[in-house]
Chain A
C-alpha cells in the first residue's frame, strides 16, 4: 500500500472506472493509491465505491455477489446496503436484528464525463477535473500500465490521436494533433483537420506505486460508421503508449558517467 500525505492528492477526484463498466449485478475491482476498492451499481442506479474488505472477517467483497440492492460477502453471507454500506443481514443469526453499526467503508462517489470518480478524503467541496460539457462523451478503452504514475504522466505527451488519419490514408495524413497536460493527472489531446476538431481527455488513476490506470473519453459524439474505427485507433495508440512506458520503466538506470570512461 502506498501512502498519500499530499493534502491536495487525498482530496482530488480520480476516475476509477467507466459508467459502462458497472453492469447490472457486477462488481468492479480496482485500487486507488493501493486502497483496494469494490465498485458496484444497485438496481436503483446508486453507485457504491467501497473498501474491498468485508468488515466482518476481511474477505474481499469483489468475490461476493451484487444482489441488486445489497452486496453479499462470499464468506459468511453478511449483506451490506446500497448507499450506507450498513450490515442488513447475518445469515447465521436469522432471529437477531442485523448489527447496523457494522459498516463497509464507503468512499465518496462522483459521476461525471461518463466516468466514476472517487477520492480518499471528502471534507471540502471539489469538482472533477473536467470541462462542463464532458457529460456528453464517448468512453474509450482504458489500460493499466506497469509503471509509476509520474512516469506515465511524463510519457503521455507521446499519445497521438489522429482519428481521420487512421480512417484514411496514413501517408497523406495532414491532421494535426497535440497532447498537453491540463494538470499533473489529466491531459487533453486535440486533433484538427480542416474545420474538424476532435478532443480526447485522458485521466491518470494512481492504482498503486507500480501501476497506473489511464482512462480516456472523447468529448461529444461519433457518427455511427466512425465509432468502432475511432475506438480502435485510440486503443492502438494507448496500448502503444503502455508498451513504451513499460519498456522504459523496466530499463535499468544508466550508470553514472565518469570522465575517464572510454566513450
Chain B
C-alpha cells in the first residue's frame, strides 16, 4: 500500500496526488502539519526525510523523497503503457528530465514567493518573482511553438508527460506569490488544457474548469 506524507497546501504534494489520480492508483494520505505546526522539522519526520521536505512517498518498504523523483517512480511503476514517462525514447526521456529540473526552478522561485506571501518565509521576494517571470517567459514561448508544431503539451507527444504534471502546480498557484500571468497567454491556454485532463483533481487555490457545467 502506498502512503503519501502530504500537506494539503503544497503544490509539490499536489502534483503527486494529481498523478496518482490520473493513474487511478489507490493510496493513503498521512497529513503533515507543515504550517504553522512545522511538523516537517520534527525528529520523526527528519528520520523519514533528512531534508525536512514534503512530500515523501512510501510504497511498502520503499521510501522516496522529492516530488519530481516520486513522479518518475510512480509513472515507471504504475503506468506500464508509458503514457506519462516514455522510458524507451532516449531523446524524449532527456527532454522530460530537463523539464523536471525546470519544475525545480519554478519551486525555487514561484513557490518560494508563495511561501513568502502566504506563510511569512524570510526570502528575497523581488528575486523570487523576477526568477519566476524569467522561467514563465521561456515556458510561454515554448508552449506557443508547441501549439503550432506539436500538440500543445510541453513535450512533443500526443499524450502529456510528467513534464506537464511537474510544472503545472506552481505556475497555476503563482498569483498567491504575487506573480501575475497576464503576459503569458500561451501558458494560460496550457493551464486550461491540463485542467481538462480526464481524472484531473484540484487543491485549494486551483479551481476546476467544468466544461459541461
Are A144 and B213 interface neighbours, CB within 8 A? no
Neighbouring B residues of A74 by C-beta, 8 Å: 207
**B141 an interface residue at 8 Å Cβ cutoff?**
yes
Alpha-carbon distance A147/B18, docked complex (angstroms): 38
B211 interface contact, C-beta 8 A? yes
**Taking the complex as formed, is A211 at the interface, i.e. its CB lies under 8 A from any CB of chain B?**
yes
Nearest CB to that of A60 among chain B residues? Answer: B175
B77 beta carbon closer than 8 Å to chain A? no
Q: Which of B147-163 contact A (CB under 8 A)?
A: 147-149
Q: A21-B189, A23-B192, A65-B209 in contact; A31/B182 too (CB < 8 A)?
A: yes
Query: Is A198 part of the binding interface, using a Cβ–Cβ cutoff of 8 Å?
Result: no
Return the chain A residue nearest B209 by Cβ: A65
Closest CB in chain B relative to A245 CB, distance in Å: 14
Interface size on B, residues (CB 8 A): 18
Contact of B185 among A17, A67, A207, A239 (CB under 8 A): A17
Which residues on the B side are within 8 Å of A157 (C-beta)?
A: none
State whether A30 touches B182 (Cβ < 8 A): yes
**Are B185 and A21 closer than 8 Å at their CB atoms?**
yes
Distance between A42 CB and nearest chain B CB, rounded to angstroms: 15
Interface size on A, residues (CB 8 A): 27
Q: Does A25 contact B (CB under 8 A)?
A: yes
- Residue A219 interfacial (CB < 8 Å): no
Taking a contact as CB atoms under 8 Å apart, the answer to whether A228 and B148 are in contact is yes
Compute how far the CA of A25 lies from the CA of B188 in the bound complex, rounded to whole angstroms.
12
B144 at the A interface (CB under 8 A): yes
A74-B207, A231-B145 given as contacts; is B189 within 8 A of A23 (CB)? yes
Instruction: State the CA gap A239–B140 with chains docked (Å).
Output: 12
CB contact between A228 and one of B149, B192, B211 (< 8 Å): that residue: B149
Any B CB within 8 A of the CB of A120: no
Q: Kindly state the separation between the CA atoms of A144 and B188 in the bound complex, as whole angstroms.
A: 14
Q: A85 to B123, alpha carbons, bound, how many Å?
A: 43
Within 8 A of A (CB), among B163-213: 181-183, 185, 188-189, 192, 207, 209-211, 213
B145 touches A28 (CB 8 A): no
Instruction: Give complex CA distance A221, B149 in Å.
Output: 16
Most chain A CB neighbours (cut-off 10 Å) among B141, B145, B182, B192: B182
The 8 Å CB contact of B188, one of A29, A141, A211, A235, is A29
- The residue of chain A having its C-beta at the shortest distance from the C-beta of B183 within the complex is A144
Is A235 a contact of B141 with CB atoms below 8 Å? yes
Is the pair B192, A26 in contact by a Cβ cutoff of 8 Å?
A: yes
Asked if A232 is at the interface (CB within 8 A of a chain B CB), the reply is: yes
**Is the CB–CB distance between B213 and A65 below 8 Å?**
yes
**Shortest beta-carbon distance, A135 to chain B, in Å?**
20
Nearest first, the 3 A-B pairs at minimum CB distance are A144-B183, A228-B149, A29-B182
Enumerate chain B interface residues (CB-CB to A < 8 A): 141, 144-145, 147-149, 181-183, 185, 188-189, 192, 207, 209-211, 213
- 17 A-B contact pairs sorted by A residue (CB < 8 Å): A21-B185, A21-B189, A23-B189, A25-B192, A25-B211, A28-B188, A29-B181, A29-B185, A30-B182, A30-B185, A67-B213, A141-B145, A142-B185, A211-B183, A227-B148, A232-B145, A235-B141
